[in-house]
Structure 1
C-alpha cells in the first residue's frame, strides 16, 4: 500500500477541511515554529487507533478537537482520513480486493469515536488488523515524532522488543495467541464448571434413584389405600342409612310425649297469670304506703339537719370572733415597731449623703496626680525598648558570625577527610586488564560461530520433526479409519448373524423341536446357497421349506407321538442320485442350476422339491411359456412370480424367511472382506509404529541438540556479560581516576576559601561581642529607672482606685437607706389598712351570732315524729297482703316449672335425635358423593361387603397403609421425571465434557504451534536486524560498531539491549553518547528494521534537529536509499533535508490558531530557474 492523501477537518489547528496530497516517495513538510506541522503526525497516529491523549500531546481525547480562536468558535467534530493506493492488493483480509482503501476516524465532542474503512463502520480492532505486521500502528516504529528518537534509544529492553516483533510481523501471532489463551481460559473454566456439574449430577442421580424407588412404592400404596377407602366409604354409607331410619322412628315417639306435657304447662301458665295480677295490685298498695312513710321520714331528717346546722354555725362564728381579736392586737403591735424603724433609717440616710460629698472631692484631687506619673513611666519604657532592640541586633549578628565560624570549621574538617580519602582511593585504583578483554572477545567469537552451526542444525531438526509428526498423524488416522471400517463391517455381520439365528431358533415351534431332540439340527437354508438375483425365486418355490429341519433318516419320525404346533418340514440328509429331470421349456432354465448344496446329502431332497421348477426372465416370458409346461411343472421369475399352466401367483415378502439366502451370502462375503482388511490394518499399524519410533529418536536428538544450543547460549551470554563488565570496569577505572584528580583540585580551592571565611567570621564575632556588652550595661540602668517609674504609677493608681471604692460604698449606703425608708413607709400603711378591715369583720360576726336561734325548728320536729308512727302501721298491713299473694304465686310457679322441666329433656332428646338423624343423612350423602367422585364400582363393593367385610377392619387397614406411607418420609413425586431428565442431562454433559477436553487439547496445541512459529520468526528477524544494524551504523557514523544483545534466554519474553560505539570511542553504555550520536544510533536501528520489513510509509518529525550538516548529509543519503521501498513524509527546518524532498508542503498560520497548507514542487521550481537562466 502507498499513502496517497491525508484529509483533516476540525483536528487541532486544521479547523477547515484540508487535503494534504502525498504524491511522491519523499515529501517534506516545512513551516515556522507553532504553525501546526506536528499536528499532521498526531493526526496519522490518531487515525491508526491511538487512545492515549498523552501520546497526542493533550490532556484528554477532546483536546484533538479545534477549541476555537479569537475569530472562530470551537467545533464539535474532528475527522481524519488516510487514503491508500492498493493496486497491488497488499492489504490484509477482506480489503485486499479494493484498489483504493480509505481509513477514517471521527470523534464527537460528547466523546463518541467512530472508525470507517471505505465508509463502512468498523471496529478499532479492524483498523489495527489491516496494519498488523506492517510496522504501522498507533505506536509502531514507522511514525517517529518529536522526542521519540531519545525514547527509542533509551527505551527499556522489553520496549525495544516491541519494535522487533512489529518488524517480524508477529503482532498478528501475539493477537492470535492472546485470543487462543482467552478461549483456552474460557474452555478450562467451562470444563471446570461442567466437571462440577457432572459430579453434582452424579450425586443427584444417586439421590434421585432412591427417591424414584420410594415414589414407586408410594404410588402402589396410594392405589391400595384408594381401593380400601372406596370400600370403607361404601360400608359407612350403608351404616349411615340404617342409622338414619332408626333415628326417624325415635323422633316420632318423642313428639307425642312432648304434646301431652305441653298441654299441662299451658294450664299452669293461665293460673299463674291471674295470681300475678293480684300480686301487682298488692305491690302497688305496699309501694303507696311505703312512699308516704318515706316522705315523713324525709321531713324529720330535714328538720333534724336544720337544728344541727344552726348549732354548728353558732360555734364557728364564736371561734372566728376570738381569732379576729388576736389578729387585731398583733397588727397594732407591728405598726408601732415600723414607726420606730422609720426614724432610724432616715438618720442613716442623712449620714450617707454627707460621706458621698467628701469622697467625690478626694477623687478629683487624686486623679489630677496620675498624668505626671504616667509621663515619667512612658519615657523610661521607650528608652528600655530602644536598648533591648539594639542589644538584640548585636546579639543576632554575633550568633550569625558564630554560625559562619562553626560552619567554616566543619567544612574544612569534612574537606580534609574527603581529601585524605580521595588520595587513598587514588593510590588503590587497579590498572585496566586489556589482555583479558581481548581474550574474552576471541572466546565470544568462537562460541558465536559454534552457536550458529548448532542453531542451523537445530532449525533443520525442528523443520523435519513436524513433517514426521504430520506423517505419523496421517498413518494413525489411516489405521483409525481402517479399524472403523472393519468395526462397521463386523457390526453388520453380527447383526446379520443374530437375525439368521433368530430365524433358525426364534419361532413358536422351537419348544416342540427341542422337546423332540431336534434343537441341534441344522436348517435347510444353512446348507445351500443361491446365485445372486435368484433368492426371491427360490423363496417363492420352497417357502417355509427353506427352514426345514435336517435329519439323518425320516424313520425317526415314527417315534413322534404328537404333531408339531405349526408348519414344519423335515428333510432327510442322505446321499443318492436325483430323479429324472423334467423336460425344460424353451427360453427357461431349471432352478436347480442356480442352487449349490454345501452338504451333498441335501441334493436329492432339494432336487425333489425343485423338480419341474424353471426360471424365466420376466412376467411376459412366463405368460408366453406357461402353455408349454408339463403337468406339475411351474415357471418362476427372479421376482418370485409363479406360473402353472392355468395360474399366476404374485410373490410378496410376507414370510420372516424373506432374505435369508441373500443375508447368508452377504455374511460369507463380509467375512472374507474382514480378513483382508485386518491384514491391511496390521500393515498400517506396523508402519505407524515404525514412524513413531523414528519420531522418538528424532525428538531425543532434537532435545540433545536443544540442550547443547541452550548451553552454548548460556555460555555466549555469560561471555558477553563478562565482556560488558570488563569494558565497563576499564572505562569506570579511567573515568574514576580523572574524577578523583578533578575533585582534589576542587577540594583545595574550597579549603582555601573556607579558611578565609573562618578568619572573617572570627573578627566579626569579637566586634559584635563588644557592642552587645555595652548595650547590656545601658539596658540594666534603663530597666532600674523603668521599675521605679512603674512603682510610682502603680501607687498613684491604687490611691485613686481606693477613693473611687469609698465613693461607691457611700453611694450604695445612701441608696440602701433610701430603699429601706420607702419599704417601712409601705409596711406602716399596710398595717393601718389591716387593722381597719379586722375591726369591720369583728362587728359583722357579732351581728350574725345574735341571729342564730333553734327553738322554732324543735317544735316542727316533734309534730313530724308523731305522724311517722301512724304511717308505719299502714305499711305493715299492706306488706302482709302482698306476702300471702306471693306464697300462692310461688306454689303455681313451682307447678309450671315442673311441667316445663319435663318439656326440656324431651325437646333436648328430640333435638339430639334429629341431629343424629341429620348427621347420618349427611354422612350417607357425603359417602355417596365421594364414591361418585372417585368413580367406584358400587356393585363390586356390595359383593365385597357380602363376604363379611367390616368398616372397622377397613379403617385399620387404611391406617396401616397410611402409616407405611408416612414411614416413607418426604416423597418426591416428580422423582421419576427428574431422574429421566437428569440422565438425559448427564449424557449431554458427558458429551460436552469430551468436546471441551478435545477443544482444550486443540487450543494448547495451537498455542505451542504459535509459540514455535513466533520464536522462529523473532530469532530470524533478530539476526537479520542485528546484521543490518551492524552495517548501517558505520554507514551513518563513518565507522564504529554496533550490535543488539538479548537480555535473556527465551526470545519470546526477553529484552533487547543496544550496544553502540562510535569511531574512536569505547563507551560502556549508550547513555554516555551525545544527543546527535543517540539520534544517529536510533535512526540506524529504525532503518535496520525498515530494511527488513519496510512499512508502507514512514513519518519523521524533526529527527534531524540534533545533527550537524555533515551527519545530516549522511542521514539524507540513507533516507533516499530507503525511499526506494517506502514513502517518507518528514518535517524539518534543515535546508539540507529540505533539498532531499521531491515535494514540499508548506504549513502556514496567517490566521491565528488556524493551519493551512501550501504545496511547492521543487523540480518545477528548479526547471523555472534553469529556463530563466
Structure 2
C-alpha cells in the first residue's frame, strides 16, 4: 500500500478542510516553527489508532479538536482520513480486494470516537489488525520523531524487543496466542463445571431409580383401580338407564291424555282465530274509512293553500313588471352617456401617439452618445484596479510578515514563560521523606501479623459453625421425617374416613330414612366393639345387618313395612326379650327361625331385613378399627414432631450465636485488612512519588535544554522578519502615491459618464410617459366599448323578462283553484258517513271474540293438573338422566373403553364387591406413601442429560488438548520467526551502521536465554571509539545509531510508508548527506514523508509541501512539485 492523500478537518490547527496530496516516494513538509507541520504526523498517528493524549502532545483526546483562535470559534469535531493506493492488493484480510482504501477517524467534542474503512463503520481493533506486522500503528517504528529516536536508542531491553516483534510480524501470532489462552481458560472452566454437574447427576440418578420403582408399582395399582372404578360407574349408569326408561313410559301415557285435551283446545282456538280475523277485517275497514277522511281533509287544505299562493304570486308579478320598466329606462340613458365619452377619448389617443414618436427619437440620440463615456470610465477603472491590486498585495505581504512577527514574539514570550515555569518547578520539586517510607513498611508488617492472627481465630469459629450446621441439618432431617410420617398418617386417616363415609352414603336410602324419621338413628356397626382380627368374621355373619337401625317402638316398624325402602335395610329391637308383634296379624317366630318372602325380605324373631342390591359393606369394621388406631397414632406422631421442632430450634439458636461471633471475626479481619490495604496504598503512593520526582526532574532539565535551542532559532527568525517588513512598507508608500494620481483621472471620467446616463434616463422617462398616455387612451376606449356591449345585453334581457311577466299576468288560475276546493269539501262529507258505519261493525265483531276467549280459558284450566303430573315425571326422568350423565361423564373423563367395560361387566362381581376391591387398591396405593410420578420421566431425562454431558466432557477434554497443542505450535513458530528476525536485523544493523558513520561497528545482543521473554540491547562503537555503553555517545551519534536500527528493521519488513519528524535535526552536514543517500536508496521500496528544516534534506524531496499560518492559530498548505518547478525554470532559461 502507498499513501496518496491526507485529508484533515478541524484537527488541531487545520481548522478548514485540507487535502495533502503525496504522489511521490519522497515528500518533504517544510515551514516555519509553530506553523503546524508536526500536526500532520500527529494526524496520521491518531487515525491509525493512537489513544494516548501525551503521544499527541495534549492533555486529553479533546485537545486534537480545534479549540478556537482570536477570529474563529471552537469546532465540535475533528476528522482525519488517509487514502491508500492498494493496486497490488497488499492490504490484510478482506480489504485486499479494494484498489483504493480509505481509513478515517472522527472525534466529537463529547468524546465519541468513530472509525471507518471505505465508509464502513469499524472498530479501532479492525484498523489495528489491518496494519499488524507492517510497522505501522500507534506504537510502531514506522512513525519516528526526534524524541522517539532518543527513546528508541535509550529504551529498556524489554521495550526494544517490541520493535523487533513488530518487524518480525509476530503481533498477529501474539494476538492469536492471547485469544487461544482465553479460549483455553474458558474451556477448562466449562470442563470443571460439567464435571461437578456429572457428579451431582450420578447421585441424583440413584435416588430417581428408587423413586421410579415405586412409581411403576403405583401405576400398576392405579391402572387396576381405574378399571374397577370404571366398572362400578358402568353398572350404575346401566341402572340409571333402566330407571329413565320406566319414567319415560309413564310420561308417554300422561302425554296422550294431555294431547286429547289439547286437541279440543286447538279446535276452540281455531274458532277464536276466525273471530279475531273478522274483528281485524272490521278494524281494517275502520282504518280505511279513517284514512279516506284524513285524505279528504288534506285535499281541502291543499286547495286552500294553493289559492293563497296564487294570489300572492300575482301581486309579486305586478311589482316585478313595474321594476323592470324603470330599469330599462335607466340603462338606455347610460348608453347615451358612454357614446359621448367614447368620442372624447378617441381624440386624446391621436395626440398621445404624436408625443410618443418624438420621445423615441430623442432617446435614440442620447443612447448613441453613452458608449463613448462608458469606454473612458472603464479605462480609468482598470488603471485604478490594477494600482489598488498592487497595493493590496503589498499590504497583504506586510500583514503576513507582521502576523509572522507577532507569532514569533508570542512564541518567544511563551518559551520564556515556559522556561521560568520549569525553572520554578525544578526549584520547588521536593524529594520524598525516606523516614516516612520506613515507618510505613514497619506498620504494614505489623498489620500483616494482625491479619494472620485474626484469620486463625476466624477459621476456628468457622469449624465450630460447620459442626453446628451439620447437627442442625440432622435435626432438620429428623423433623422433616417426623412431619412426613405424621402427614402420611393424617392422609391415610382422611382417606379411610372418606371411604367409610362413601360406604355409608346411599342417596335413595338416606331420603327414605329421613322421610320416616330414622336418619339420626345409630347403625349397628357403630355400637359394636370387636377384638382386633375378628372384624372380617363379624362382617361375613352380619353382612348388610351391619347397617341395621335400632327401633324401640312397633308402631314405627309398622309404618316402615307400609313403605318399603329403595335399598337393603335392617332394623332390630332393643333388648333380647322384646316380644311385641311386629305387625297386626303376625305372631312372633320361634327363636332362631327365619322367614323369607318372595321379594327376598327376611323376618326373624327380633329383626326385619329388606332385600336390595349389595352395597359396599366390605371392610367396614376393619376400616373402623384402622381409623381408631390411626387416630391414636396421629396424636403420638404430633408429640414426636413437637419434640423434634424444639430440638431443631435449640440447635438453630446455638448456630445463630456462633454465626454472629463468626461475623464479628470477619468484620475484625476486614477492618484489619482495610488498614493493611491503606498502609500498602500509602507505601505505594510514596514509592510512586519518588519515581515521579526522579522522572520529572530529568524531564524538566531536558525541556529547558530544548527551550534554549528553540529560543535561539526564534530570535534569528524574528530579525529576518523585521527586515522584510521594512522593505514591504517602503513599497506600499510608493504605490499609495500612484493610486491617488490614478484616482483623480478616474473620478472625472466617472462624472461625465454619470451626466450622460442621467440624460439617457430622462429621455427614457419622457418616452415612457408618452407611451403610457397612448396606452391609457386605448384602455379607456376599450373599457367604454365593453360597457356599451354590457348595457346592450342588459336592455335585451330586460325586454325579454318584461314580455314574460306580461304573459304570466294574462293567465289567471284563481277560478280553477276555487272550483277544486268546492269538490274536495263534498268528498270529505261522504267519508265521514262511511267512518260511522265501520265503527258499528267493529263493536259487533269484538263481542263475538270475547265469548270464544272465555270458553278457551275454561279448557286451559282443565289442562293444568295434567301438565303438573307430566312435569313431575319429567323431573324424575331428568334425575335418572342426571345420574346417567354423571356416571357417563365420569367414564368419559376417565377415557374409558366402552367395549372393554361391556365385556368385563358380564363376568365382573356385583357393585358391592367392586367397591370392596376399590377400597383394597386404594389402601395399597396409600401404603406406598409419597410417590414421585415424574420419576420415570425425570430418570429418562437425567440419563439423556448424563449422556449428553459425558459427550460434552469428552469434547471439552479434546478441545483442551487441541488448544494446548495450538499454543505450543504458536510458541514454536514465534520463537523460530523471532530468532530469524533477530539474526537478519542484527546483520542489517551491522552493515548500515558503518554506512551512516563512515566506519565503526554495531550489533544487537539478546539479554536472556528464552527468546520470547528476553530483551534486546544495542551495542554501537563509532569509528575510533571503544565505548562500553551507548549512553556515552553524543546526541548526533545516538540519532544516527537509532536511524540505523530503524532502517535495519525496514530492510527486513518494509512498511508501506515512513513518517520522519525532524529526525535529522541533531546531524551535521556530512552525516545528513549520508542519511539522505540512505533514504533515497530505501525510497525504492518505502514511501517517505519527512519534516525537516535542513536544506540538504529538502533537496532530496521529489515534492515539497509548505505549511504556513497566515491567520493566527490556523494552518494552511502550499504544495510545490520540484520536477515541475525545474521544468518551468528550464523553459524560462531557454
> The TM-score by the shorter chain falls in which range?
0.3 to 0.5
TM-score of the superposed pair, with normalisation by structure 2: 0.42
